[in-house]
Structure 1
């Protein structure tokens, strides 16, 4: 004979009063599950001065004493229930009232006051007080699929870390790359100083953020042997090799269409025929000031944003882009004037 012993609310004396509701596993919406006592209070004296573990122990001892004459021959195995439906798990997929349906991901059950108290204590012990306020809030609902939620999707739901790398493009065409060396970038004609940085950032899941994206080689002083386009190309290869996301930003405030076109080309990582088949993961446009909100600058900026949004490989109808930009400028004109005035004060 195999005997199943299930430790439930009824068996530990739960009657639904006093501390009762807070003994139940609870989801983030306040829905309680009464199949099993929350492990957050296992050792706390919440049952008239006794803990659930003490009650479980008494129940098991009583079972042993009452059936000891059958143990070992008639009763040869005792299966002890460890959770909902006797299983060692949280009640994350309750079917009652249609709360969960196969194959939904379920929901975390860590929001009763005892579980939250345990979380807070663990966060304090780790010196991370900010971790102790609540459980996950971006893990979706019972019937979501994993990729529907920030918490479970491939990219994750946390805040990304981005590390800014200087765009030291002057004297890039020299043998020594002196300005890069003095800044700490060991990049020379014979050594890729950015690959090791990209590899380090890849290990930590960080984004490689690079500047001078809007610059062209021929715009720079000839005697300084500047090569911002070649530098961006080097970065495109380095980050592709390290499989780290590359983000960019412009180094100087530029509002002209010529600079915008260079940013579009660089952000697609299609630099001088580079075979890198991907795009920058983000771009920061510098800087917001009254000049940006000049009517012509704002019109060009609107068109630029539309093209950036459509991404690599998009085929733009210039007339359509300009028409949409003009319409948007007209609609937003009162707000733009207000923003320009505010920035001047």
Structure 2
């Protein structure tokens, strides 16, 4: 008899649970994530050839934070072809590309050249010829040097003079533990705080700077910098595929909830692992705390404003 009573109780409990689930679904309490499928501006791409970034080809990227490994392409031709395929797949209409001169002739309508590791005279000449959209990435972080070091001042001076934005790379630098097995022996966490840019911004008030990789993991300091310096933006490149999704979303939500959703820009930092573009797009699209308008800001509108795209150009890109 006891067995029959227990069976009846379980059966009734199951019916009650199912009824509640049905009521929740009917009442619309399920979380519905609206996916953005409009045009995307990627603010952080790399073009390589045998002379620039050649050592990267064929290198896989193990990511212990997510227990994943990303497969590296083996040739410059493969890198370009596979990256362009991802552009088409995800409707990436513009890509601010470090060393973009390597790819510019193949896709002049998509590639915006960002100059890096070049003499000042070469940068100036490219700008005068109308072929330079930004200076960067500036990455003294790998040499143990911060933004306010005297060695960096000429680049910020030139960018302000030419009215060009600067992309400044901080953390993360290389894969987890790269200090020990990637020859990055000068990288130090103490040099990764975005506050290092403060004197640069104050002394160059007309200069637009964006912090590459979002200033992660210094969320509070990044919020303070955005509050104090309205000319400062950030991209979420690399952290949108190397970090666990929950960590990226926590960081992103902290910025958006603080009112800085209009200065966050999408980027991938795609090097030789094209699949990371897929992961990065999904990382933003899967954020259930973002409205479709906020996703559009991150994927397109904020970068369009930062790059001073004309209304005509924006309209053209959004109609594609």
Q: TM-score, normalised by structure 1?
A: 0.27
Pick the structure with greater CA Rg.
1
Instruction: Flag the structure with more relative contact order, 1 or 2, with Cα contacts below 8 A and sequence separation at least 6.
Output: 2
